[in-house]
Amino acid sequence: MTTPSTTPRPRRRTTAYLAAGLLVPGVAIAYGLLPAGAATVPAGTSAGVVAPARPVAAAAAAARRNLDDPAKKEVAMQIVSAAENSSLDWRAQFSYIEDIGDGRGYTAGIIGFCSGTGDMLELVEAYTDTKPSNVLARYLPALRTVNGSDSHAGLDPNFPRDWRTAAQDPVFRATQEAERDRVYFNPSVARGKSDGVRALGQFAYYDAAVMHGPDGMASIRSRALRKAKPPAQGGNETTWLHAFLDERVIEMKKEEAHSDTSRVDTAQRVFLRNGNLDLNTPLDFAVYGDQYHIG
């Protein structure tokens, strides 16, 4: 894990996880989806008819990929890691573990599974289902006991050490990714697709789920629906995402640990104001005052 340059980053869910039209080339250039000066039509035909160039159509199609496209997903993981761990290197976070004093016990792994919110328990259960003789299996009774609290009872002193040991196991790393996708990423992307939002909107849903839990994200969306409608309901995509991010900021400010809203204000909101609804690179943004570039 990259050590934060200042105070520990606020990073946890406020809601406990419950166990039980085509893009036209001109717009593409204006929003930076195609390089300025890129050819948009081939030379005219003998009849003087000008047809769209295939490279432009291919670029436009690529720009419209959803967040579950592998390249887009990689970008999403990097942005979340910048906010959660002050580093774009999300793969370095499998072994991360600490108690950041936010009332959720230990926070660990690639998206901050917490001993107090149920998702860490489900992660270790899934790991144990796949590999019963693992170093974390012995902590399952304690994880069940401390769920819903900030207690370390039955975990200290060796749980952090054993977590870091488990993180060297490819099976545990794969399980972290699978649980991230099952609980947070896949449902958020599916919700975004059903709402008719593109990669940026899908990311906004995912990042909200990471911090506030799936139920918290759903609550934010429900409140945003009082102010705007998503494209699938006839609304304007940009207007809808501003409404969603407005409600996200309100939710973040309800808790001191989340009161720094820069992961919205100087990251997602910047992309939105730039018209980058497809979350295309390059991306330049800031979180907690730290500057990041994704090429």
Q: For each of the chain's 295 residues, which pLDDT tens digit applies?
A: 333 333 344 444 443 333 333 333 333 333 333 333 344 434 344 444 444 445 545 555 555 899 999 999 999 999 999 999 999 999 999 999 999 999 999 999 999 999 999 999 999 999 999 999 999 999 999 999 999 999 999 999 999 999 999 999 999 999 999 999 999 999 999 999 999 999 999 999 999 999 999 999 999 999 999 999 999 999 999 999 999 999 999 999 998 878 899 999 999 999 999 999 999 999 999 999 999 999 9
One DSSP character per residue, 4-18 reads PSSSPPP---SSPPP
φ/ψ (deg, to 5) at 41: -145, 155
Please, where are the H alpha helices in the chain? Answer: 25-30, 54-63, 70-85, 119-130, 140-146, 159-166, 170-179, 186-195, 199-224, 237-252, 262-263, 269-273
Question: Nearest Cα to 6, choosing from 293, 289, 291, 292?
Answer: 289
pTM for this entry? 0.81
How far is Cα 104 from Cα 122, in angstroms, rounded to an integer? Answer: 15
Question: Nearest Cα to 67, choosing from 213, 200, 245, 194?
Answer: 200
Burial class (CB in 10 A: 0-12, 13-18, 19+), 229: middle
Q: Which two tokens stand for residue 85?
A: 């761990």
Q: Which two tokens stand for residue 50?
A: 């000008």
Q: Residue count of the chain, please give it.
A: 295
Domains of the chain: 70-294 (1.20.141.10)
Which pLDDT value is given to residue 148? 97
Enumerate the active-site residues: 84, 102
Question: Which residues are bridge partners to 291 per DSSP?
Answer: 286
Which pLDDT value is given to residue 168? 99
Instruction: Please enumerate, as own/partner, the contacts of 24-29 that have beta carbons within 8 Å and a separation of 24 or more.
Output: 25/52, 25/56, 25/60, 28/56, 28/59, 28/60, 28/63
Placement of tokens 């039955």 in the chain: 154
Question: Nearest Cα to 263, choosing from 85, 83, 67?
Answer: 83
Q: Which two tokens stand for residue 277?
A: 């609804």
**Cβ-contact 179, 119 below 8 angstroms:** yes
Q: Which two tokens stand for residue 274?
A: 């730039």
β-bridge pairing 97-98 and 107-108: antiparallel
Residue 96 Rama label (left phi>0; alpha psi -120 to 50; beta): beta
How far is Cα 159 from Cα 99, in angstroms, rounded to an integer? Answer: 12
Which pLDDT value is given to residue 86? 96
